Structure 1
Amino acid sequence: MVTLVEAWNSYFLLLNSLKKSAATKKQYNLDGQQFLAFAHENNYLNVDHHLKELLFIYSNYLKESYANVNTFNHKIATLRGFIDFVFLREWVDPFDYEGILQPKKRQKEALTLLTKKQLIQIANVWPTYFQYAKTMEHAWLARRNGCIVQLLMETGCKPAELVRMKWSHIQFESSIIYIANQNGRREIKLTSILMNMLTHYKEATEELHEEKLGEWVWVSEASQSKSISTKTIERIFQTISKDIGTNVRATDLRYTVMQKAFQTEKTIENIQEKMGYVRKWVLTERQDRFE
């Protein structure tokens, strides 16, 4: 007869052979050791016909102990993988464990949209910084950040898409920008306001760095050799949040642009193309969550 400890150790050897991160493997083992400790305390030591009973009382213990849905579901998923392994090794006769190890359903929160007043406040933050900038670097940063915010407001693109933008993606003659991701690229018409801002940003970037433009649109004040990261976008919105007294993220702008599109576009296919969604069901799920 195989003990629970022996069974888990065999399963963990399998996990170590899979392409999973060290952090993921560590979490699996923590979940497994917790299960083994609970089993030992309740005198369940072997993989035998009492396993179903053990799973039942352990799942109830998890329900009472973990209110966080993600934490609970991760522990349940760990157990499911372990039980599948036990069945595969034929250490016990299979039984229906899915009804016992049932993950909790996530209650998705409604997506709160930004008001017109909030949008005006957000749009005014970096122009104000520009107005009171005391150095060339500070003025350039305010100009760059203002362009980023305006671009997010007009296109609703993702931060990950924004930081990959190149100057070759912007057609100044036609006011078109091509937004690229791993699934291709989409074309969006920009307003004259944003095009004017981009023109001034372009000139200011050459002046600050004292060289011709590099490949990337959104660079730092220190170098043009690489693009900024999404962490920089987060910091930009942390500053905005502090200034306007309301927590706001780049994603909030994306959802606000999306909702406006739902109100004006004729078909969901048009919105799907504009927002860069590959799967239509993801877009409709977002629509259902708007307040």
Structure 2
Amino acid sequence: MFGKQISDLMIKPGKSPVFETPDKYSLSYEDVTFKTSDGVALSGWLVKGGTDKVIIQSHFGVQCSRCGFTQEGKGMMKNALWTSDIHFLDQAKYLVEAGYSVLMYDMRNHGNSEQTGWVSWGKDERKDVVGAIKFISEHKDYQNASIGLLSICMGQGASVFAFGLEEEMKTFKNLKTMISVQPLTYDYFVKAMGLPNFLINSGNKYNKEKRATDLTGDSFLPYAKDISIPTLVIQNQNDPMTNMDMVKGFYNDIQSDKEIMWLDLAKKRGAAYAWLGENAQPIVGWFDKYVK
């Protein structure tokens, strides 16, 4: 029983509704759908700005969709992550005002995208990142656009997995840079939740035996060396749900041009996600250096 409960908390889909739309922010957009290389149908918005540069935003996992995080129905996660809803359309708005279009999409098993099984914390979702880049690269209005990745938590894990495991990533000459927001591996997250080892072990055993999903180990970390574009890592140094030595090691392993931005925010995982929507200058400033 405990194993299933822990597994449900960490990898079960269905906790991430699309709770608002770009209309609320007076943004022009179109609903889009596209498929991944393994045939998964993904749902998203193409928020309209300039046609020569596009940001692809990949959200965090399990509790989140393309538009962010709502506390409604989140149970024990309601206040563990942050003290209010998190609105990813905030950064879409300032990016559009800076001349970018923004592709916001639900990864598999999130929001309105197809449900295929269990959330894999980035390994399967890497194909969603590739599918999103390919969708923009082949779109009639954006074929010549430069692309930047705004990859958040599991979204950044999926992006890093893509660089390491997907040969197609090498073909996207229009892919210019990535902002990697708060790298996090499953192991550190479950430990940071304060769960005793017997519960963690029970959840891991249930994942492996009942759901054919093994999330133990180094996750995306071995593929940091394969990131081939300039990368900005953003991390709240007071984040209680990760390990700062892991973040430093991840950053050190990146071989491309890189910078790291340490934030001094509240001791909540979601503090950096809320910060992201409220601080346009460092985000737009980084993208403006490379996405042109």
Q: So what's the TM-score if we normalise by structure 1?
A: 0.25
Q: So what's the TM-score if we normalise by structure 2?
A: 0.25
Which structure has more relative contact order (CA 8 Å, sep 6+)? It is: 2
